[in-house]
Amino acid sequence: MIEVVIADDHALIRQGLKRIVEKIPDMTVKGEAADGRQLLKLIRRAHYDVVVLDIGMPGPDVLDTIKAIKTVAPRLPILILTMQPENDFAVRVIKAGVAGFLKKDDALNELINAVRKVHSGRKYISPNLAAKLADALEKSDDQLRHEKLSDREYQVLSMIAKGRTVSEIADELALSVKTVSTYRARVLEKMQMANNAQLTYYAIQNRLV
């Protein structure tokens, strides 16, 4: 029996995913979580075979949640669900150790296949994302500016580009305003830019948001 834990902040989506999974005789949804903190509590308390994780949940940043899961249960495969197109952030979460990346629009037809694939130890990624990942691995000194950022710096860049203030970013990432300001300064320095407007323009031009 493949025991799945589903993490999504929308109860209706969790129920929809649960119905898909539980139509399969050798699969069951053993746990449900509405945010990253609840998910980590469940993983610490019980064994699961696959995590189905919504990339857009409130609470801790998804990269922090992934890293925490990998600390608690290093071999537990994580299947990411998203409404967003496959972009550079998708490459980052794959590099962070997730086993699969599935768009919610494809979940009805592909969820079971994706769960089986990651449970078997393989990766579940689209051809488009595979090409992006191969590109990212081949690049060296010719990196785009944002590819030189750390994961946290990239998070801050993405949130600035979405119009978040330093205070809002600090609250969302559970950091101090001073720490976020330091990350922002590093982003500006590494990307050789002067202000948030330039960062936002760059992010839009490179389809980071």
pLDDT average, residue stretch 151-170: 90
Among 23, 43, 24, which Cα is nearest to 32's? Answer: 43
pLDDT average, residue stretch 150-155: 86
pTM attached to this predicted model: 0.68
What backbone phi and psi angles, to 5 degrees, belong to 151?
-60, -45
Which residues neighbour 175 within 8 Å (Cβ) at sequence distance 6 or greater?
A: 169
Q: Exposure of 195 by Cβ count < 10 A (0-12 exposed, 13-18 middle, 19+ buried)? A: exposed
pLDDT at 141: 46
Tell me: the pLDDT tens digits for 18-66? 999 999 999 999 999 998 889 999 999 999 999 999 987 776 678 888 8
102 pLDDT band, cuts 50/70/90, is confident
Residue of higher predicted confidence among 35 and 134: 35
Q: Are 40 and 51 in contact (CB under 8 A)?
A: no
Show me where the domains of the chain are located.
Answer: 2-137, 145-205
Tell me: the pLDDT tens digits for 115-128? 999 999 999 987 76
184 pLDDT band, cuts 50/70/90, is very high
CATH code that applies to domain 145-205? 1.10.10.10
Residue of higher predicted confidence among 41 and 149: 41
CATH code that applies to domain 2-137? 3.40.50.2300
